[in-house]
Amino acid sequence: MRQLRLIVLLTPLILGACGDSAAPGGNGGGGGPGGSGKYDVTITRTSLGIPHIRAGDYASLGYGYGYAFAEDNLCVLQEDLVTIRGERARYFGRDGSYTIIPNGVTANNVDSDFFWRFAADETRLAPTRDNTLPEFKQVTAGFVDGYNRYIRELKAGAHPGRHAACADADWLFEISEDDMYRRYLRLALIASSSVFINEIANARPLLALSKSGEPTAEQKRAALEADPGPLRYFTELRGRRFGSNMYALGPEATQDGSRMLFGNPHFPWTGPERLYVAHATIPGELDIMGSSLYGVPAILIGFNDHFAWSHTVSTAYRFTFYELTLNPLNPLQYIYDGEIRDIEQVPITIEVLEADGTISQESRTLYRSHFGPMLVLEASGIPVLGWTPLKAYTLRDANAENDRLINQFARWNQAQSLDEFIRLHGEILGIPWVNTVATGPGGQAYYGDVSVVPNVPDGKVTLCQAVPLHAVVQQLVPGLPVLDGSRADCEWDTDPDAPAPGIFGPGNLPKLLRADWVGNFNDSYWLTNPAEPITGFARIIGDEETERTLRTRLGIRQIQQRLDGSDGLPGTGFTLPLLQQVVLSSRIYSAELAQQTVLDEICPDASGDAVSACAALARWDARANLDSTGAHVWREFWFVLSGNRGGTGGSYWATPFSADDPVNTPRDLDADQAAVRDAFEAGVAAVAASGFAFDAPLREIQHPLAIEDDIPIFGGQFFEGAFTIADSDPLDANGYEVEYGNSYIHTVTWDEDGVHAEGFVTYSQSTDPASPHFADFTREYSAKRWHKFPFTPEEIAADRIREYRLSE
């Protein structure tokens, strides 16, 4: 049996005072500096539960990270690992389901298991596992051992009361390194294959057409418009919930010529796509702090003395559909360049926990072309991408082929300068689905959508589009190609500077360096800085000269107004406190554009409840701060008016969008339209039905869904043009229960002493209600008390609440 050794560096009195779980126990043994042990790491917890993990080697770093993470979020990650093993039905039963929160896809446990057994099998795992940098293979192996150590301690009773959701469950078992590589793959596929879990898991050939025959293109178009199905992620959810805001400020944007960075991903407040803050140090190798998605032992959004960076979800598509022409005598064969190829049949068997407690087995065959998985996509009962005796559909997923994701972040964590960071961005090209901004002392503000994108130039789409399906899909999802899969010349191209076949190289991806600023708010790269629009890139990457969302426009206006001093704050340009004030100001841009019009043109005709609603709006400050009264009235009105679309595409503006003035158009609410007045009435009715007073402050209405519900949460929603995001379902008797939005936030700058970073984890570090760090950071966020992230040894020692050393 392995021998374990722990040296607790704080007294029991201090340990008890901090209120954390009991320190891990050990039986003595041969770890430690100069010994023969496998691991030796020190974990220092600072206030609000942030672990600072200091080790002499990569394996020990991973060991400490895995242990610390399990202390805080064991059950949430474990359930996800069970899921991507394809074992949900085995442990949670046939009738359960699972939702990938960011892309909105829900699958029953059986379909989920078949999909993940297929999508994350050995052939898909091997490239990532084999090509991961040796030192981060060590980090991964160490994470597994540290995580498993905590599980053994928990099961032995070392941490009483902790992790009640899984402590006694049969699905809490020790994990393997392959579980971690599956997790990396699962995260890479969020914006591509895993959007189509149900469509891939249930794809079957249709041996004969129905009596009504193949649906027409117009029928398919109408069906998609009525029910986009999984394509809803690309039409409604991307940039709404799984979105973000970020600025990089160069010397021309700050009052003292320093550089600053603001990062604020909008990620779920529940589930495994939460972000976890940690600080990793190997003296002489890396010293990096920031946040990571659960189960990734590398900093994904971070900072150090040399640079800082952040991400937003990109508009680029990570896959294409291919239309296959089938052998009319065999629907499991397709024609490719005049030859017949077999569709691969993949038999899979899963175990299922039945209602009577017995375990049964269920088998299914899934299918794969040389492009990738076969799928059948139905909308409104019509097979839009069907599998008839003549045609079938498959997809190729660039991120299913991306074996560089963990290496990208690993090398960034090791980088020693901003220039190296930027070079590595294009050299490795492993970023799966996000834009990046970065800056650092002495550098400029950098932006790049240098990410994994199928190399499908516009000319190739023109020559290779599958008629008429490509045009049908374009109506709903512009820029997503449906290509002819019968021709080799319709395969993806490969750029000479690309690190892998089939993707664009950095020379064909959008980038910008400026001395003032760059930013992104989930629209495309085009208006990264309106003074220098980025143009000339393939449509699959993003759109150009098109209307921006209200959130994007506000994100730009906040910078412009700060630089010209028209925002009412002191001076011109940014300081760190001014940056923090701007990004949490909770402005609502739709109100800035239209509140006065409503008061002037709709409210004079008000009657009944609308009189009270108008009185509340007249006193409203056009923000979503805790003491803002009437914010919910405007939100419910704009929810109806905008159709929950994010503030674009509406016909309710008198001045339409102009590419010559994209930041300030469209504007001027046309209050004479019946649709505008009807929306106002509907919004008033929704508030009345909720039971909340029209002039209630937001602090009485908005709170977290899954944390302590007495914590008030500020912020608005994407469709009303909020920049400070707190997303929830529409108003009801429970108020607004926040389940998405501002998550990890950091504001970073540098001075002669090095990096200075302040921020939040809005939903706190731990998902375990028994943890002292289940809601503490959320309360700090609610009060807008920015937290200084300790970085130097002196800062860490001054803020220390608990410290312990682990060895094995």
Question: Which candidate, 401, 601, 612, places its Cα nearest to that of 499?
Answer: 401
Residue 699 DSSP label: G
Report how far residue 189's alpha carbon sits from residue 404's, in angstroms, rounded to the nearest whole number: 13
> Closest Cα to residue 755, out of 83, 260, 40, 108?
260
Cβ atoms within 10 Å of 359's Cβ, excluding its own:
10
Cα–Cα dist 257/445, whole Å? 12
- Which two three-digit tokens encode residue 403? 């074996």
CB 287 within 8 A of CB 61: no
Q: 90 — phi, psi (to 5°)?
A: -65, -35
Of 244, 27, 49, 260, the closest CA to residue 149 belongs to 27
3-class secondary structure, 716: strand
Q: Would you give the DSSP letter of residue 751?
A: E
> Where do runs of H (alpha helix) occur along 194-312?
197-201, 217-226, 232
Q: Which of 223, 205, 571, 153 is nearest to 389 (CA)?
A: 205
Cβ neighbours of 169 (radius 10 Å):
16
Residues whose CB falls within 8 Å of the CB of residue 452, separated by 6 or more in sequence, listed in order = 318, 398, 399, 402, 429, 430, 431, 432, 433, 503
- CA–CA gap between residue 251 and residue 442 (Å, rounded): 8
Is the separation of the CB atoms in 558 and 582 below 8 Å?
yes
How many other C-beta atoms lie within 10 A of the C-beta of residue 462? 9
Please count the residues of the chain. Answer: 808
CA-nearest of 793, 785, 768 to 68 is 768
Instruction: List, by residue number, the catalytic residues.
Output: 244
Phi, psi of 477 (to 5 degrees): -130, 75
| 183 sits in which H/E element | helix 177-188
Cis before 506? omega within 30? no
Rounded Cα–Cα distance for residues 49 and 62 (Å): 18
Q: Say if strands 702-704 and 736-738 run parallel, antiparallel, or are unpaired.
A: parallel
DSSP label of 732: B
Angle at 315 between CA 186 and CA 582, to 5 degrees: 100
- Distance (Å, whole) CA 529 – CA 531: 5
The pair of structure tokens assigned to 146 is: 């540290």
**Half-sphere exposure of residue 234, counting CA atoms within 13 Å on the CB side?**
27
In degrees rounded to 5, what are phi and psi of residue 279? -125, 120
Give dist(CA 146, CA 150) in Å, integer.
7
Q: What is the dihedral of CA 395, 365, 331, 194, to 10 degrees?
A: -20
